[in-house]
A and B are shown apart, each in its own frame.
Chain A
């Protein structure tokens, strides 16, 4: 993936013209404008009374808390997924990994494992799932799309197998009972009335922003995606970088699975279905190049907020069965605009 050929652009550095500077400013900050636009749009469209923050309106406190609460899984995933795509790789198995983690976490909890060990074990399991992806891609050199399609199927199968036949998810029943603490993590408000799962997403994102800007991992990920041969010749172990990124993505997928499973109070083997598409959508929306090298963790985080605001906000405007259509259209639009922008840049 990401076969880079050096484009021989004969024109040397030119001082930026005024229009050029505006264009670059827009490229840099457009995502924030989109977020504001979406929020304004949904607020106006849903205006019940002429008071923005009242119950029933989009900007109502409870509504915002609710949106941020259900956003936790996606927000957790977006950053790591961005770094992986910056390095020129992709993981289509995140949805399945998330489902499998949700099932594992619920199974541990329902069998009496306390919160912290269950949490830790699930994250370790997620790291293992990521490591399998890394192994297939880095050691066996299977194309990332295919390798992670294989594990998409594998993890999904395992998640389904872990749930008994005839039952749709891990939940109380048959002599076993979900512990009472189970949904605290994803649902019960802590600081600012937001649940721990949301704050974990924020912490993970902050860590990844620091990692991208201040550590070898971030720089080497950009180098690996931008020019893999150059990275290798500089003595960078690109294989190790990619492997590590897959493991990190696996861990965040596990955190996302825990958040989702806690929020829904059950271990649903299909809970992560389609998450890979949402993740790609969010990352592309944030301006990450599909060919690697380019992309910021923070922008994907904003992209995730936009998508969640849209999906939740939309429910008040149109029936739920419009969701697939809107997300699909958004994916196409994000991919197209992203490509047009990056093509223009490489030409200038």
Chain B
């Protein structure tokens, strides 16, 4: 792979990055052709993000070289990277809400004389670029008034107008609805036509086949392959390269589903939800599927009492009132959408994280039993195979999958009868995903009710007995899972094709 093709816009040779005790990127060499959409895939921890950080100047390689159009490229910071023609679109949005769209587009590139801003060609150029990729956004609007997808397009427009020849996109569709994804893909394809190379990182393999020209696979910090996607024989081969084994996720009907209803929600409504009613039975895994913004998280939080709503939630026949405290007390637990900010106490140890949802189990008249806490931690680290050498490890030092297992442990420790799992495997590697699915099935087999809120169709289809389809805050349809499920129909409904969506 060291041979450098003539049309390579970006290439890395023998790139290595060592952290104390870990080699995150190990002797990686490959090159990216100009005017292509080049996908970068690999499990979490495969070295993608370290590689991207080196490309953007956030990290310095331990050894090896990077080249842009054949010239040595050694960025010391993101600004250098941008000067070198490489711009990055990160998962979190990097726009300033308090400034206008146009001010954001020129941020960091302004022309100035003695510190004073001067009118320049730049303003005209950025507006033109924005108009070309998304005419519906007014440059004079304050960014705080835009949607997430629109903010992302502002970022892309900024990268494009900064003269970047390569734009790196790290999971840009994570927070977008299907329709917005299509719009984004349109933008990306238009970028390719205007001589911009896109490096596209995603966990969603369908997107990669839909969009990409070529793919580079990383595994355990090592380079596995770089080849045109036309030469990849489908998802199975790609997954094979990513994990070195075949994962097959499919639904098998479960016989523990009962008719014993534990939760009845009637007419849930708030700023987004419109009269959502449903029920969940003991022993059942119910999937809530819809695009981001369809109201999944809102339903989970309403049932859990975390947000205000109108309507009623009855659990085991009783009104449980509107606070997480009371929801947990009556036997409902939630794995929230954002693991690091809502689920975990990252600065605390595994031991300190696990008991928090069920303090009664660990206390005697207000006095805390530390020995019981330690025993519980050891028990759950074992039960869920959390990869750590000690229960005293800080949660922030665990990988995404293990962090999610700690959050799950919290809920399991709460002895809840109903578990609400909001995006239970987001940002989790394939191995841990399989384990988490096994845990969920096991819970339902033991007679618990489980609700899975997910924007991954594969996950819902592989796991749930019954699937509720959501669009724009209302419940469109309920279908039973099974071999005869019509995927095309599901996609039709959740993208606004259902009966209720007549507007």
Q: Are B117 and A9 in contact (CB under 8 A)?
A: no
| Docked-complex contact B117 and A219, CB < 8 angstroms | yes
A229 contacts across to B, CB distance below 8 A: 92, 94
Which chain B residues border A235 with CB–CB below 8 Å? 77-79, 82, 108-109
Asked if B92 and A6 sit within 8 Å, CB to CB, the answer is yes
Please, which residue of chain B has its CB at the minimum distance from the CB of A233?
Answer: B78
Nearest B-chain residue to A12, judged by Cβ: B147
A12-B147, A235-B78 as given contacts; A227 in contact with B108, CB under 8 Å: no
From 266 to 313 in chain A, residues with beta carbon under 8 angstroms from any chain B beta carbon are 293-294
Contact A230 B175 (CB under 8 A): no
Contact at B99–A226, with CB atoms within 8 Å? yes
Residue of B nearest to A232 (CB): B78
Among A73-81, A120-128, A210-218, which stretch is in contact with chain B? A210-218
How far apart are B185's CB and chain A's nearest CB, in angstroms? 19
A217-242, CB under 8 A of B: which get 1 and which 0? 10100110111011111111000000
Which chain A residues border B146 with CB–CB below 8 Å? 12-13
Say if the beta carbon of A10 comes within 8 Å of chain B: yes
- Which of B82, B116, B341 is most buried by chain A, counting CB atoms within 10 A of its CB? B116
- Is B427 an interface residue when CB atoms closer than 8 A count as contact? no
Residue of B nearest to A4 (CB): B97
Cβ of A346 under 8 Å from chain B: yes
A116 at the interface (CB under 8 A from B): no
A180-236 residues with Cβ-Cβ distance < 8 A to B are: 214-217, 219, 222-223, 225-227, 229-236
- The answer to whether A10 and B272 touch (CB under 8 A), given A5-B341, A215-B115, A235-B78, is yes
Q: Does A165 contact B (CB under 8 A)?
A: no
Does the CB pair A230–B95 fall under 8 Å? yes
Is B98 at the interface (CB under 8 A from chain A)? Answer: yes
Which B residues are CB-close (under 8 A) to A227?
94-97
Residues of A within 8 A of B97 (CB): 6, 226-227, 293
Closest-CB distance, B92 to chain A (whole angstroms): 6
Q: Does A222 lie within 8 Å of B98, measured CB to CB?
A: yes
Bound form: Cα–Cα A10–B148 in Å: 7
**Please, how many angstroms separate the alpha-carbon atoms of A229 and B138 in the complex?**
24
Which residue from chain B places its CB closest to the CB of A225 in the assembled complex? B98
Q: A11-B147, A227-B97 are in contact. Are A215 and B82 (CB under 8 A)?
A: no
Q: How far is the CB of A279 from chain B (nearest CB, A)?
A: 21
Given contact pairs A11-B147, A13-B141, A235-B78, A216 touches B117 in the complex (Cβ within 8 A): yes
**Which of the four size classes fits the interface of chain B?**
35 or more
Within 8 Å CB of B132, what residues of A? none
A234 neighbours in B (Cβ, 8 Å) = 78-79, 94, 107-109
In the bound complex, residues from chain A placing their C-beta under 8 Å from that of B93 are 6, 230
**Residue B144 at the chain A interface, CB threshold 8 Å:** yes
Which residues of B, 132-173, contact A by the 8 Å Cβ criterion? Answer: 138, 141, 144-148, 150-151
Contact A216 B112 (CB under 8 A): yes
Specify which chain A residues have a CB less than 8 angstroms from the CB of B110 in the assembled complex: 216, 219
CA A248 to CA B196, docked complex, whole Å? 42
Q: Closest Cβ of chain B: how far from A138's Cβ, in Å?
A: 16
Closest partner residue, chain A, to B148 (CB atom):
A8
A12 CB contacts on chain B under 8 angstroms: 146-147, 150
Question: What residues of B have a CB within 8 angstroms of the CB of A293 in the complex?
Answer: 96-98
Given contacts A8-B175, A236-B107, contact A226 B78 (CB under 8 A): no
- Report which residue of B93, B108, B150, B292 has the largest number of chain A beta carbons within 10 angstroms of its beta carbon: B108
In whole Å, how far is B426's beta carbon from the nearest beta carbon of chain A? 14
- Say if the beta carbon of B321 comes within 8 Å of chain A: no
B429 at the A interface (CB under 8 A):
no
Q: How distant is B83 from chain A, measured CB to nearest CB, in Å?
A: 8
**Residue of B92, B94, B141, B148 with most partner-chain A CB within 10 A:** B94
| Docked pose: A11 CA to B177 CA in angstroms | 12
Among A219, A225, A229, max chain B CB count under 10 A is at A219
Which of chain A's residues has its CB closest to B175's CB?
A: A8
In the bound assembly, the distance between CA atoms of A1 and B151 in angstroms comes to: 24
- Which listed residue, A5, A9, A231, A346, touches B96 by the CB 8 Å rule? A231
Given the interface contacts A13-B141, A219-B103, A231-B107, does A226 sit within 8 Å of B175 by beta carbon?
no
- The distance from the CB of A207 to the nearest CB of chain B, in whole angstroms, is 12
Q: Is the CB of A216 within 8 A of B115?
A: yes
The answer to whether A226 and B107 have CB atoms under 8 Å apart is no
Query: B88 at interface (Cβ–Cβ under 8 A)?
Result: yes
From B83, which residue of chain A is reached at the shortest CB distance?
A235
Contacts of A222 in B (CB 8 A): 96, 98-99
What is the chain B residue whose CB lies nearest that of A10?
B293
B 30-83 contacts with A by CB, 8 A: 77-79, 82
Q: Please, how many angstroms separate the alpha-carbon atoms of A234 and B161 in the complex? A: 13
A234 to B272, CA, bound (A): 34
Chain A residues near B138 (CB-CB < 8 A): 13
Q: How far is the CB of B284 from chain A (nearest CB, A)?
A: 29
**Minimum distance in angstroms from B114 CB to a CB of chain A:** 9
Residues of A within 8 A of B96 (CB): 222-223, 226-227, 230-231, 293
Per a CB cutoff under 8 Å, which of A11, A13, A223, A233 touches B99? A223
Distance (whole angstroms) from the CB of A73 to the closest CB of chain B: 27
Q: Residues of A contacting B341 with CB < 8 Å?
A: 5
**Across-interface contacts of B151 in A (CB, < 8 A):** 6
Q: How far is the CA of A326 from the CA of B119 in the complex (A)?
A: 47
Q: Mark A1-38, 1 if CB is under 8 A from B, else 0.
A: 00001101111110000000000000000000000000
Bound Cα distance from A187 to B99, whole angstroms: 41
Verify B117–A214 contact, CB threshold 8 A.
yes
CA–CA, A162 to B110, complex, Å?
46
With contacts A222-B99, A227-B96 taken as known, whether A9 is within 8 angstroms of B147 at the C-beta atoms is yes
Minimum Cβ distance to chain B for residue A106 (Å): 34
Q: A11 contacts which chain B residues (CB < 8 A)? A: 147
Q: Which of B260-311 contact A (CB under 8 A)?
A: 272, 292-293
Which residues on B sit within 8 Å (CB–CB) of A219? 99, 103, 107, 110, 117
Nearest residue (CB) in B for A13 is: B145
Q: Report the bound CA distance from A9 to B79 in whole Å.
A: 29
Q: Is the CB of B107 within 8 A of A230?
A: yes
Q: Do B117 and A223 have beta carbons less than 8 Å apart?
A: no
Q: What chain A residues lie within 8 Å of B293 (beta carbons)?
A: 10
Listed A/B pairs (26) with beta-carbon separation below 8 Å: A8-B148, A11-B147, A13-B138, A13-B141, A13-B145, A13-B150, A214-B116, A214-B117, A216-B112, A216-B116, A219-B103, A222-B99, A223-B107, A226-B96, A226-B99, A227-B94, A227-B95, A230-B93, A230-B95, A230-B107, A231-B108, A233-B78, A235-B77, A235-B109, A293-B98, A294-B98
Contacts beyond the supplied A230-B107, A231-B107, A233-B90: 7 A-B pairs with Cβ under 8 Å: A13-B147, A214-B116, A215-B115, A216-B117, A222-B98, A234-B109, A235-B79
Q: Which 3 A-B pairs have the closest CB atoms?
A: A235-B79, A234-B108, A230-B94
